A and B are shown apart, each in its own frame.
Chain A
Amino acid sequence: MLLEIKNLHVRAGDTQILKGVNLNVEAGEIHAIMGPNGSGKSTLANVVAGHPAYEVTEGTVRYDGDDLLELDTDERARDGVFLAFQYPVEIPGVSNSQLMRQAYNERRKARGEDELDPLQFDDYVREKVKVVDMDPDFLDRSVNVDFSGGEKKRNEILQMAVLEPRLALLDETDSGLDIDALRVVSNGINQLAGDDNAVVLVTHYQRILDYVEPDKVHAMVDGEIVQSGGKELAMELEERGYDWVAKQKGAAQ
């Protein structure tokens, strides 16, 4: 199992956000987690990435059999965990290529491979830039500074393409995109997805699932995954709303 989350309870400050999440993701799978605003989707993604604002009060997260919660954020990333942020921050003064080269070389070192020098990296990254259909000028610009919303999302996908993670968590990378950008982002995801890695899409729109075929869809309501199924669950959620699953769950209990 690539990612195995059991009975995960998470708190931020005094607020209990996740209340017993269970999720199993195998290598080679694409999962979609859907749910209304405030249900805890970003929290789940952030906890897997190691965000310091969240405290795990109960439960376990295992990654490839190891206790993921034992590792620092940067160690998780070097081991192949990638989070595409819902709201990527702007970092003035750090260029996109500088960040990606540093990140990629860290990842290579962790895999026992040689680092790439700036020229070698430039060749490598330019191929990846084509995947996301970005202007190569973006490489020299400060990370996300003065990028439009869509450019920031593409930039996250570019970083994912560069780092080739084993587990990619995409937090609403599809939100706010026009159809062209959505195709680009989906294309990036489909290029990455393979037998050795897994993708978890966090979204509350069903539209991206027309481009990225999920193996499993989960509905998250109020800090819990209340229902799981195949792609048809996404359709049903879109038609009937989340109240419907919440009620179903209430009825089942």
Chain B
Amino acid sequence: MSTAEETRETMARHPFVARFIDQGRARRTSGQPQWWADLRTGALQKLVGLDVPGRKDEEWRFINLSSLVERDWSPQEDATFEPTADQLEEWRVPEASSTTLVFANGRYIPELSTVADLPEGARVTTWSELRDAGELDVIADYVDIADYWEDDVFYNLNSANFEDGLVVVVDRNVVVEQPIHVLHVADGTAGDYAAHPRNVIVTGESAEVTVIEEYATAEDGVYFHNVVDEVTVAPNSKVRHVKVQQDSTDAFHVARNQITIGADANYESTAVNIGAGLSRNDSYALFDGRNIECTLDGLGFVSGSQVTDTHTALDHDYPDANSYQLQKNIVDDRAHAVFNGKIFVQQDSQRIDSNQLNQNLLLSKRGRVDTKPQLEIFADDVVCSHGATVGQLEESHLFYLMARGVERDRAKALLTYAFAAEVLEDIVVDTLRERLEAHIMEQTTS
């Protein structure tokens, strides 16, 4: 092999990737089971061949990643943040008071976390705690399970660099009544850091659990959350997953969500993307059995120069499934919202009923919306409905409310809230739903 070729194989194609390769190589390996070490090594090797996506990539053509990839990101360890209990007050979810895990700038903070009152057979913990206890093998089978993300640069950056994240394992027949709240709080003034949370949620047969995954900002500033979630929903079990992303508007948030659903199981998720200057949230749900119900709803609310991009892919691999998707985006100022919804129905996956709707509300003239449904259907007994709308607030609605004495700004807020409410109303955790509803009202009135 010539020297030139060797260089090409070991040098990353983009400095953004190279930096993360260096950081990944420098990470400690002590306490890592072999499978984790292999995952990291594999990702590091993979990354050498991966470039950052550009506009020419179909999956990325609507957004510009330059401000993300042209920055020198430090590892989260260089930007520590020690929040006080008071600082977290506004994001506390009372229903989850005994099951809240706090991460600050990517680092787990046990002193501010509470895990108690769980039923026998439900485990709510973190990678770092499992590593310290030598028990990481409980999740070995549920990490890096889908090849969908094989060539995805962000997924591999996470695999090469992650140190921690939420772990929820609920055994067979166990029902966890209280929601589990994982709160990632950020201090953006601590330096341009990148954190790679890796969250793993696993149920056993007929189990049930609700997880709230939240990203919140204590101090605005530049940082990069590069998240991977891996959710495995066992046969006949149920997972409710609420994601709330309110990162700093100077920050970047990229998430890859792998959802694997077994027969007769039900996965319901609501992803709320309000924060970050640029957020990209991708979910891939693999229907790995018959008679599955899956709901992937989302709400994006962006203003200023924010960009939010949601991609979903529902892969119906077995017959008799129902899937529902409602993605609503509200776009103000010069902001930009993107939605891409893929629906795959494989051959022999008959009697699939799949509904996808993307509705966009433009509050300004300069806002921008791109939306693209993508259906690849290889079975014949299938009902797939899909639709996309882009609209403004109705003048006739505003006039009606004003004719009842409601001020124009307030009427706008009420109507914007009403648009969002259809997504938020499915969040079963009352205090969280009310907090988000109030937030939408407030943000519209300001």
Taking beta carbons and an 8 Å cutoff, which residues of A are in contact with B? Answer: 49-52, 72-74, 77-78, 82-83, 85, 88-89, 91-94, 98-100, 102-103, 106-107, 110, 142-143, 159, 163
- Beta-carbon nearest neighbor of B407 in chain A: A74
Asked if B408 and A102 sit within 8 Å, CB to CB, the answer is: no
A100 vs B195: C-alpha distance in the bound complex, in angstroms?
47
Asked if B399 and A94 sit within 8 Å, CB to CB, the answer is: no
Asked if A159 and B404 sit within 8 Å, CB to CB, the answer is: yes
Interface centre among A88, A92, A93 (most CB of B within 10 A): A93
A110 cross-chain contacts in B, Cβ below 8 A? 405
Could you give, for residues 398-409 of chain B, a 1 whenever the CB lies within 8 Å of some chain A CB and a 0 otherwise?
A: 011111111110
A-B residue pairs, 9 tightest by C-beta: A93-B418, A77-B405, A103-B404, A106-B405, A73-B402, A74-B402, A78-B405, A94-B418, A103-B405
Q: Tell which of A52, A73, A94 touches B414, judged by Cβ atoms closer than 8 Å.
A: A94
A51 vs B395: C-alpha distance in the bound complex, in angstroms?
10
B390 within 8 A of A: no
Asked if A89 and B400 sit within 8 Å, CB to CB, the answer is: yes
A50 cross-chain contacts in B, Cβ below 8 A? 402-403
Could you give, for residues 411-440 of chain B, a 1 whenever the CB lies within 8 Å of some chain A CB and a 0 otherwise?
A: 100110111011000000000000000000
A89 vs B400: C-alpha distance in the bound complex, in angstroms?
7
- Beta-carbon nearest neighbor of A104 in chain B: B405
A91 in contact with B405 given A85-B400, A102-B410 (CB within 8 Å): no
- Beta-carbon nearest neighbor of A88 in chain B: B400
Chain A nearest Cβ from B365, distance in angstroms = 18
B395 cross-chain contacts in A, Cβ below 8 A? 52
B372 within 8 A of A: no
B414 cross-chain contacts in A, Cβ below 8 A? 94, 98-99, 102
Chain B nearest Cβ from A102, distance in angstroms = 6
A98 vs B413: C-alpha distance in the bound complex, in angstroms?
13
Chain A nearest Cβ from B103, distance in angstroms = 34
A91 in contact with B410 given A74-B402, A77-B404 (CB within 8 Å): no
Chain A nearest Cβ from B427, distance in angstroms = 15
B86 cross-chain contacts in A, Cβ below 8 A? none
Chain B nearest Cβ from A53, distance in angstroms = 9
Chain A nearest Cβ from B397, distance in angstroms = 5
Asked if B404 and A99 sit within 8 Å, CB to CB, the answer is: yes
A107 cross-chain contacts in B, Cβ below 8 A? 405
Question: 18 A-B pairs, CB-CB below 8 angstroms?
Answer: A51-B399, A72-B408, A73-B403, A74-B411, A82-B403, A85-B403, A93-B415, A93-B417, A93-B418, A94-B415, A99-B401, A102-B404, A102-B405, A106-B406, A107-B405, A143-B400, A159-B404, A163-B405
